[in-house]
Structure 1
């Protein structure tokens, strides 16, 4: 632990949410997120519009985060920002702001891997959140990623399973689009699934060896299934929306859990932590809760506010990097694609 209190300003701008957080060591003082509703009318994130919105939002979001935390700029110890992965235009807004502010204040600059942050969000100091012990397995699931990561230490991580094509979040959102649901569709799938019969319709799980995932075939299977049923009954979706969503969600959760069971068997590690936007899904959370009783796993589920893109998770990585004096200079570049 440092001899004095460390205040980290963290900035997250990897996609369409502009977020800022102030950390006091590993505690969250503020965590502010500005959402971009403009993308709903396009059925997905439009990169150019996202970067423009970040430019409009970043100054007020940072200002609110500092005020909520009760911290002045002069008290900050360092500034952490998302280096990648993400949309390049969005990342550049956050990195440019962080570089400029760090230079103006004469304080260190810290670059953070977005996916690493989803994992280390479990180490935010809150009474309601239990921290996993090393080593553990992390299932990181979002609109752009599906990974199983073996975590040996804060910065010793190895991806042991990943998607060969589409991410799980894409499978949820594509299903929602097929069903005529508005963007973002994943939360709506979850909402309807809780009211339906998860065994009403059967979907074939992809056969992918090892710990890797594939969701492109499942998306195509759902599309053909719905098209066939609608051709026979134009009201099929409206009459069966709950059961369709429940069946799709059950299939996806089963795929994820099957791979986790295999990962536990191969590594001998039965501590499982989840992260990423899709980890807010109730079906996945319930499956992990049940695994505690049925499989004897130790499972760690973050608070909802730390699952979707937020700056507190960037801040906790920034804090641990600060302890290691792991700083960057102004030449650091954003990366749309990056690994641990």
Structure 2
């Protein structure tokens, strides 16, 4: 390599090391391509330590595995953090691109790396300003026109916020902070728990009394904890059914409205899985579903019995939403139960969209045969 090329590369390699020493996380893929993963470190399913330990180094071997071979979607995701190459023969183009990129990263203490226009040939183009949709406009009214391209597009995740509606007010209703779920539903859980227990304590709740008095069973107040737990277990089944059969329905390519509905319910989450404002259900739409199950419980069972089951299910829903948020934004300890769930859920998003429908547990994936297969290296570990 000519000295004129070696010198810029040496300078840029030194810049990478400087920025890593300052707390950023830049990595190389191959001898030239540089990626700034600083904003992604805390989201990495393997934990932030794995990335921080490799800051400033070539991670090609880790991408190809073992222990884990990264999917094509993971490689496309990586391309969003590409900041440049370590060498470029056109010095004038380098300077111009450095200035442009510097404007985008005013907080950086070091000059931005040169951004080349050519993308890794192994990856498809990822989210240009107008990829199949216009990202400057609400997406909800556009996705239905994607037709047969929708399924592939929606399952190629990107790291950018999504706007659904034109109206600022309606758009605000489609977003929710994680703590809103606790603030809205936990008080109701506490009230209904007290209400159910109080009714059971009166000793006037009987099962099967509508059909026959000979075999009717008095429900004692001591049943409440058991009914609460049964309600949580029933929710875990409902969670699986909703996720698999409603959220992951396959809308016909020629049906604009079903595609739009799918994107509204769940497609948006798969397209932008780390949009923190859309990881839990907004209270308004979730109240419709919760209200349905409350009425169903009251119609099917005596009031105290049905409400006890319902409140357990409602608490299960709150746990589900909190775990789901944590699986996206948390950093559980390696080897823990939540760490296993996080890795499992990320695989669902990036590689196995038609499997791994359990969020709080893998339990229902076993009997329904939708368990994500473990990699050989994982079994050995």
Classify the TM-score, shorter chain.
under 0.3
TM-score, structure 2 normalization: 0.26
More strand by share: 1
Greater Cα radius of gyration, structure 1 or 2: 2
Q: Greater helix share, 1 or 2?
A: 2
Higher relative contact order (CA 8 A, sep 6+): 1
